[in-house]
Structure 1
Amino acid sequence: MRDEAALIAEFARDERLPPAFSDLAARLHRPLAARIAAWTATAERRPLVVGVCGPQGSGKSTLTALLAWLLEARDLRAAVLSIDDLYLSHAARQALAREVHPLLATRGVPGTHDPALGVAVLEALGQPGPVVLPRFDKARDDPAPEAERPVFDGPADIVLLEGWCVGARPQPAPLLADPINRLEREEDADGLWRGYANAALAGPYRSLFQRLDRLVLLLAPDFEVVRRWRGQQEERLRQRLIAQGRDPDLAMDETQLDRFVAHYERLTRWIAEDLPAAADVVLRLDAERRPAETF
């Protein structure tokens, strides 16, 4: 097995992560990779599908990317799939906005993904041969062209399925009655939008999430921290756009971001309440994304 400390140093260098990342990796990434490898050794089917659920900006992408490296170092073939890469196209969401509710134009909540695509990809990753993985370009607000999508040479031993609502379960109907923020009060007073998202969790998303063999849950201290983390993500996107010579205004400003995050608030709060009892691993993070307790 390749030296994990050297691998982490290489990863941190490639991703331009701060020196303190090595300590975080020792406390979080390395022991979690060992736990997943142990799960794989006793799994009844391949690939083992591990859900990684956490609020926006909590570090899921970095976590799953390094986990894949660490698992590969253990001679386990690990594929990474994000629920964000299953978003419906801009045109498809515009159609939902016209036909169901205007808020469905904004990507994010259940009902704005293609869970059947996720199921198909998971099935394909269990078979020999190349699998073109879905990718969504958030700057374009559309799926990336196939030529820009990565190819995984299957079969995979493990699939890390990450996303802010991975594994989420529908809320009991009475909890949908009262709006929880300004967006819901002013733009979903009758509850149609949140009811549609909840029904999606009970329907199409259930088929995808039932495929999870294990679930890792990241929790933020509170929703205000989630808003700050998401703002940091948007600033990084702005800097990437500038570096690529693209329009930085494709990233959201503060007003746009506040409204955008409000779409996620209900389910983010519900996940934090509902999923800890169902998850295999629960990681409570502090405001700097460090686990509050040693893993």
Structure 2
Amino acid sequence: MAPDPSLLAAIFAAIGQGGEGLPLVLGLCGAQGSGKTTLARAVAREAERRGIATAQLSIDDLYLTRAERERLAHEVHPLLRTRGVPGTHDVALGLDILTALDRGAPAPLPRFDKAQDDRLPEAEWDSAPADTALLILEGWCVGARPESAAALRDPVNTLEAAEDPQGLWRAYANAALAGMYQDLFARIDVLVLLAAPAFDVVFDWRLQQEAELRERAGPGAPGLMDAAGVARFIEHYERLTRHILAEMPARADLVVRLGRDRSVLAVNPG
């Protein structure tokens, strides 16, 4: 999705109605492959053009290291080995970044290498400048709220039915989302939802991402997946993605309705 001027104008109009925090936090939420990173970069470029000191942080960059997820897999549930659901992020690190930026200090920004399925060494992290005025926080579950206990009862796909029959994994993820994630998301001043037309497009979008990742990283990178791997991978995200698409439009500041080709069909206030 190449952001058009009208979409950027709508976002900057919404930013102008944001909160008092330093920095102002713009949350961009959308399913895998919906164009969040492309939009975040376009917003950052426009903000810099306007003289606004800006930093970008993806919630994906807060993923726990592979070793930390291995530990969770052994101690809590095997499905926590796979990055994705709440409970597989270092939310405290995200809150520390915001604390530093709220003081007007510079802050290191972690980066995660999906091809290696691990966090990059700190020497390769980026940095948010001192007196950052705008932080763009983007990710597939940014701003999400937990489901009810009743909603967790029945599996939503084969992965949950076969590998989480007692609901322990999804309950752990939901409890994590209800905890520190809400502290992080409470700092969002303006929330924008890139709304996919349906969950079934996510496979095609994510498969395209994987092809692009393979082209950049080369075929031997350990985090790369074939089509079957992508299909299984997105099942980890399905429950919460469906919940977001059903629940978030009523409260997001902007809802960007996407077509199956990721074209922008409409931009509406939440």
More helix by percentage: 1
What is the aligned counterpart of 1:117 among 93, 96, 100?
Answer: 93
TM-score normalised according to structure 1 size: 0.87
Aligned counterparts of 2:103 and 2:96: Cα–Cα separation in 1: 11
Aligned counterparts of 1:240 and 1:130: Cα–Cα separation in 2: 30
Distance 1:250 1:102, change over 3 A: closer
| Residue 277 of structure 1: aligned partner | 250
The answer as to 2:259 corresponding to 1:286 is yes
What is the aligned counterpart of 1:229 among 197, 202, 205?
Answer: 205
| Residue 136 of structure 1: aligned partner | 112
RMSD: 1.6
Report the residue type matching 1:28 in the other structure.
L
User: SS in structure 2 opposite 1:292?
Assistant: strand
| Residue 35 of structure 1: aligned partner | 14
| Residue 40 of structure 2: aligned partner | 64
Q: CA deviation at 1:169?
A: 0.5
Matches within 5 A, 1:261-276: 261-276=234-249
Percent identity over paired residues:
53
Report the residue type matching 1:287 in the other structure.
R
| Residue 28 of structure 2: aligned partner | 52
The answer as to 2:195 corresponding to 1:216 is no
| Residue 156 of structure 2: aligned partner | 180
Matches within 5 A, 1:150-229: 150-229=126-205
- Greater CA radius of gyration, 1 or 2? 1
The answer as to 2:76 corresponding to 1:103 is no
Q: Gaps (5+ residues) in structure 1?
A: 1-16
| Residue 25 of structure 1: aligned partner | 4
User: SS in structure 2 opposite 1:179?
Assistant: coil
| Residue 259 of structure 1: aligned partner | 232
Write out per-residue CA displacement over residues 262-291 of structure 1, whole angstroms, 9 at most, x where no aligned residue.
000000000011111111111110011122
| Residue 50 of structure 2: aligned partner | 74
Aligned counterparts of 2:221 and 2:180: Cα–Cα separation in 1: 35
Aligned counterparts of 2:104 and 2:183: Cα–Cα separation in 1: 23
Distance 1:294 1:171, change over 3 A: closer
Q: CA deviation at 1:31?
A: 3.4
Q: CA deviation at 1:138?
A: 1.1
Report the residue type matching 2:158 in the other structure.
R
Report the residue type matching 1:228 in the other structure.
D
| Residue 3 of structure 1: aligned partner | none
Report the residue type matching 1:278 in the other structure.
R
Aligned counterparts of 1:88 and 1:187: Cα–Cα separation in 2: 21
Distance 1:131 1:167, change over 3 A: same
User: SS in structure 1 opposite 2:17?
Assistant: helix
Q: Given that residues 165 and 268 in structure 1 are in contact (C-alpha distance below 8 angstroms), is that contact kept between their aligned partners in structure 2?
A: yes
Q: CA deviation at 1:294?
A: 5.2
User: SS in structure 1 opposite 2:83?
Assistant: coil
Report the residue type matching 1:26 in the other structure.
P
Report the residue type matching 2:134 in the other structure.
I
Report the residue type matching 1:122 in the other structure.
L
User: SS in structure 2 opposite 1:261?
Assistant: helix
Q: How many positions carry a matched residue from both structures?
A: 268
Q: CA deviation at 1:292?
A: 1.1
Larger RCO of the pair (alpha carbons < 8 Å, separation 6+): 2
Q: CA deviation at 1:130?
A: 3.1
